[in-house]
Structure 1
Amino acid sequence: MKDLLHHLPETPLLVMLWLIAGGKPATAQNNYEIQVYGSDTVAPKTTMLELHSNFTAEGSEPVPPSEYDSTGVYATNHAQHETLEITQGVTNWSEVGFYVFTSINGNGQGWQWVGDHIRPRVRAPDSWHWPVGASLSMEFGYVRPEFQKDTWTWEIRPIIDKQIGRWYFAVNPAFERSFHGPSVPQGVGFAPDAKFSYDFSKYISGGLEYYSDYGSLHDIYSFHNQQQQFFPSIDLNVSPQWEINFGVGVGVTAASDHWIIKGIVGRRFDWTHHRPDGSESM
């Protein structure tokens, strides 16, 4: 989940802290898991393991002589974020995911644990025969304050997608809430993501991914203070068991990390026992 500039706090103390930070957000961007979700869930008796690798080629700089940027968290410039995502299928229409966030920053701090999130998700069953794919994800977890001032956060993410011939479209209008940290007074924030891609062949798809954070629903940020990032990306469809995605992102606002290189490599593991005749055993 991505946290950016928040509106000016009302109390004098928080106003002072906001001014000291140069009018920038009290939390850092969360470029740990950069992905637009599709509506499908992992099948039951199946586990999906994914490694999200994101390198910030140009991000926030530390304020000398500290290791922190102007918001009071570790600077993102030249940081390498590695996230392990483990997703277990529960039923034909539900799954549970778990994230382990880690970071190797560019200031010689070494490899550090950042935090953990849990994410249950349900989808509209195929038997409903909806014209689009639809699912609903909820994510809750903790991040250390050295990496994000809002340590406990919650997100609800509606997911809508559609395959039309060789074209694929997905929209994730996410809503976020902080439960501990400076963004608590903001209430619910709006952070929509989207993707479109085209199947150039059976094995290669390419398109554009969009990530954003518009701020609080009752106080939308100015464009300058929003997160707006665009990722030209490719998907390699080498096997139904594998998920491979690469992209290079550019941030077009002052509140965004300006250049990020991302990669996702995932593998499904089917724990179903199959008989020699091809049928499934219980």
Structure 2
Amino acid sequence: MVRAKGDPMKTCRPAITALCVLSSLVLAPTLAKAAPEEIQVYMDELGPKGGYGLDVHMNYTADGRKAPTYGGEMASDNRWRITPEWAYGLTDNVELGLYLPLATIDNSGKLELGGVKGRIKYIAPRAEGQNWFWGTNFEIGRVRKSYDINPWNAELKAIAGYRAGPWTVAGNLNIGWMVSGPDHTPVSYTLATKVAYAVSDKTSLGIENYNEFADASGVGRLGDRDQQVFAVIDRTMGDWDLNLGVGYGYGAPEDRWVIKAMVGVPFGK
């Protein structure tokens, strides 16, 4: 999303420690679900108070699951997901968001509008020169059966990160749960991480990882879980922002190859 971004800080030893920790998490064996409507590591970007923003999330599963896992589900193979995310700066530290509509195009070319989600994001105030950040995000939404057997689901996201020189490291701990539906799935715990290096003031290269490592029943055997890792580029082009990535699922993934993009549109400017 087109938002003000923090200035890089001087490189220091805590940045190296954070980089090592998050890099190890990137390579940790964990479980990855089918590509959702939004593939993103949340960081400290917020729109200005009273300002509007728009991100358009897109992903394409080039090699995914061929058959549904329950009656009425849309299999992920050769599927497009396109989701506009509308945002409004409620205060200097709180942003409201609306994912509308959640849209998919299946492998036959059929377009389906599948639901809506809302969110509220908080980023803690920072002293000038502080190069670490933290915050939280809560979202809740309703989707059609072709997306999820449970129509109502919610997620609480913890956000943390650190910037030092050209390096940015960030992580999200996501706790997701079913609000209502026929399949009483346990609470899930998902880790998303990002390590990025700025090659210029407008371009950075990085690695993002999205993994479900446990649920309420326990961690289980990590060796049996799936992993998904993305090579990404972030680019600023005038008032537009672009995040583009190619992801590979290894282990026993539902989705083997996924291409994703997030376009920050200068909406409301």
Q: Same-fold call, TM > 0.5?
A: yes
Change beyond 3 A, Cα 1:113–1:225: farther
How many Å apart are 1:267 and its aligned residue? Answer: 2.1
How many Å apart are 1:161 and its aligned residue? Answer: 1.3
**2:59 alignment counterpart:** 54
Gaps of 5+ in 2: 1-32
Mapping 1:141-160, distance limit 5 Å = 141-160=141-160
Gaps of 5+ in 1: 1-27, 63-68, 272-282
Report the TM-score, using the length of structure 2 for normalisation.
0.81
Provide the rounded CA distance (Å) in 2 between the counterparts of 1:146 and 1:193: 25
**2:90 alignment counterpart:** 90
Provide the rounded CA distance (Å) in 2 between the counterparts of 1:236 and 1:128: 25
- Aligned identity (percent) is 28
CA contact (8 A) 1:223 1:253 kept: no
Paired AA for residue 148 in structure 2: Q
How many Å apart are 1:218 and its aligned residue? Answer: 2.9
CA contact (8 A) 1:212 1:226 kept: no
How many Å apart are 1:253 and its aligned residue? Answer: 2.8
CA contact (8 A) 2:116 2:143 kept: yes
Query: CA-to-partner distance for each residue in 1:192-237, whole Å, 9 max, x for gaps?
Result: 1000110111221101000011241332243365342100000002
Q: Does 1:180 align with 2:180?
A: yes
Report the TM-score, using the length of structure 1 for normalisation.
0.78
Q: Runs of at least 4 residues of structure 1 off by over 4 A? A: 127-131
Change beyond 3 A, Cα 1:208–1:202: same
Provide the rounded CA distance (Å) in 1 between the counterparts of 2:197 and 2:62: 27
Question: Structure 1 stretch 50-59 or stretch 219-228: which is displaced more?
Answer: 219-228
Alignment RMSD, CA only? 2.1
Provide the rounded CA distance (Å) in 1 between the counterparts of 2:120 and 2:185: 26
Provide the rounded CA distance (Å) in 2 between the counterparts of 1:173 and 1:128: 26
Q: What count of residue pairs does the alignment treat as equivalent?
A: 236
Provide the rounded CA distance (Å) in 2 between the counterparts of 1:134 and 1:189: 21
Provide the rounded CA distance (Å) in 1 between the counterparts of 2:148 and 2:220: 19
Change beyond 3 A, Cα 1:121–1:32: same
**1:44 alignment counterpart:** 49
Provide the rounded CA distance (Å) in 2 between the counterparts of 1:183 and 1:164: 44
1:29 to 10, 34, 39: 34
Question: RCO greater where, 1 or 2, for CA within 8 Å and sep 6 or more?
Answer: 2
2:256 to 248, 255, 258: 258
